[in-house]
Structure 1
Amino acid sequence: MNTKHKKPTLTKKQRHRLRVQQVRRQKIFLTCLFLLIVGCILLRFPGFSGRQEETHQINAACEAYRDEVSSEAAQYDMSDYVDLLLAVMMQESSGQGTDPMQSSEGAYNARYPQQPNGITDPSYSISCGIQELKYALDKAGCTGPTDLSKI
């Protein structure tokens, strides 16, 4: 027995309705594709993405050391890096304790035990911390406070 499947015959009205549905689906697809492409393009531009640069604040305990850090930084030709030095202090200790730069275990600590929080003089900690950062920036080839890739 040789039976062939015949396609059902559609009326002109049915074919028109199917074509309208197909065109509608194509329009929806193309609209979604367009919105996806535009979205990707806009996300590449920070001004359009809605993203904001993240900023961090220096707390009052670290800010209280600003004058001392500025004075000590000047002795090591690091005056341009005072904000960075305070940011390091913020990260290391939030300006708390007797070793605010957490310099006890560093190479420049010659007075106190080289163990965590071994330094008990905040001024000495700041001096050692500035020297440590200066050494690291010099070794990295940092050209200034705007050379973020080296910092």
Structure 2
Amino acid sequence: MDVVTAKVALTIAQQAAKHWKKIVLIVLSFFMVMVIGVMLLVGGDSGNSGTAKVNDAVLAWEPVVRQFAEEYGIPEYVGVILAIMMVETGGSGLDIMQSSESLGLPPNTITDPVLSIDVGVRHLASVIENARSNELDFWTPVQSYNFGSGFNNYVRNNGKQYTFDLASNFSKNQANGRTVKYSNPIADFNGNFRYAYGNMYYVLLVQQYLTPGASGDIGNADASALGPEAYQMLMNEVLKYNGWAYAWGGSSPSTSFDCSGLMQYAFRQLGYDLPRTAAEQHAHSIPVADPQPGDLVFFKGTNPSRPASSITHVGIYIDEQRMYDASNSGIGYSNWNQGYWRQHFAGFGRVVK
């Protein structure tokens, strides 16, 4: 038996003795998978309720994830951990969180999913603890799960707030500028490449599997041009209507909202006098090239009955990936920088009194 095999075997034995309760949980988890399968056969798609928009194979591990997250002091990251699992393996691998490398082992050395979750959550908890001690934001340690804890230090020395640009620059430095092609829709906005160190899109990949509010994250409130308190008030207001149906012409809670109606109503609660339509709001706001949370993001050509150049949709800018808006899909978070919305992107605007 070589040293690596012996190390893994010893670790598995130790974990089995220490965490027998989790072994019971995993049996229950597989039972959940069977129940979900029956539900799908009898009643159709069960959906992905819970803390993250993940598939059933990942969702079945939620009790185990929750147990370890509580044990290691990061229960607020349960949804994020499930999303990480979705990004890493989609629930199909034995090293289900791809956590072997955090032990200094080759990829996929761990062959016990429970051990993989234990090691992965423990590793995430360690970078979160370091981030908290350095007063970093919610997302930096998630990127550090992929990059390693050195990214925490990099962010600490560059503003203490995760941004995609910081992740990109860190990866570029580590890779000495070497790039590789990255054919993933998440990278459409950036030319479909990445630097050859880790994955600089990791936070964006995780975020796409999170339901609104799963992380409690609304972007960097401190950076908002509205001011952190006003921005928090703005988001508190619009989040009241998360999941509500879109209503053409709607502009109040009694009717639900369309896109510009939601903007007008929410900003009015802060004392801002926004005009009614997306086009009028675009003309009223100050164009900005470097948007911050609480700015508006505008789109054109989404209404076939109007000229293609007309501003026809608006949302609240959250970060490099997300906006909060009212669309035909309902009220909630959307990805503004890829797919349909990217094709119709028209610019950013800052609301002023």
Structure 1-normalised TM-score?
A: 0.53
Higher relative contact order (CA 8 A, sep 6+): 1
Distance 1:149 1:136, change over 3 A: farther
The alignment of Structure 1 onto Structure 2 pairs a total of residues equal to 90
Give 1:129 deviation, angstroms: 0.7
1:43-69 CA deviation, whole Å, 9 max, x = no partner?
Answer: xxxxxxxxxxxxx72011100100110
Task: Find the counterpart in structure 1 of residue 126 from structure 2.
Answer: 135
1:48-94 CA deviation, whole Å, 9 max, x = no partner?
Answer: xxxxxxxx720111001001101111100111111000000000010
CA distance in 2, matches of 1:130, 1:147: 19
CA distance in 2, matches of 1:143, 1:84: 11
| Greater per-residue strand proportion | 2
Q: Does 1:93 align with 2:89?
A: yes
Percent of matched pairs sharing the same residue: 37
1:23-42 to 2 correspondences below 5 Å: none
Q: Does 1:122 align with 2:118?
A: no
Q: Give unmatched runs, 5+ long, in structure 1.
A: 1-55
Q: Give unmatched runs, 5+ long, in structure 2.
A: 1-51, 140-214, 221-353
| Greater per-residue helix proportion | 1
1:95-138 CA deviation, whole Å, 9 max, x = no partner?
Answer: 112111000111xx3xxx71110001111100111112122223
Q: Does 1:75 align with 2:66?
A: no
Distance 1:57 1:97, change over 3 A: same
Give 1:148 deviation, angstroms: 6.1
Q: Does 1:58 align with 2:49?
A: no
Amino acid at match of 2:93: G
Poorly superposed stretches of 4+, deviation over 6 Å: none
Task: Find the counterpart in structure 2 of residue 16 from structure 1.
Answer: none
- Partner of 2:100, secondary structure, is coil
CA distance in 2, matches of 1:83, 1:132: 16
Task: Find the counterpart in structure 1 of residue 80 from structure 2.
Answer: 84
Amino acid at match of 2:68: E
Amino acid at match of 1:133: L
Distance 1:142 1:72, change over 3 A: same
Structure 2-normalised TM-score?
A: 0.24
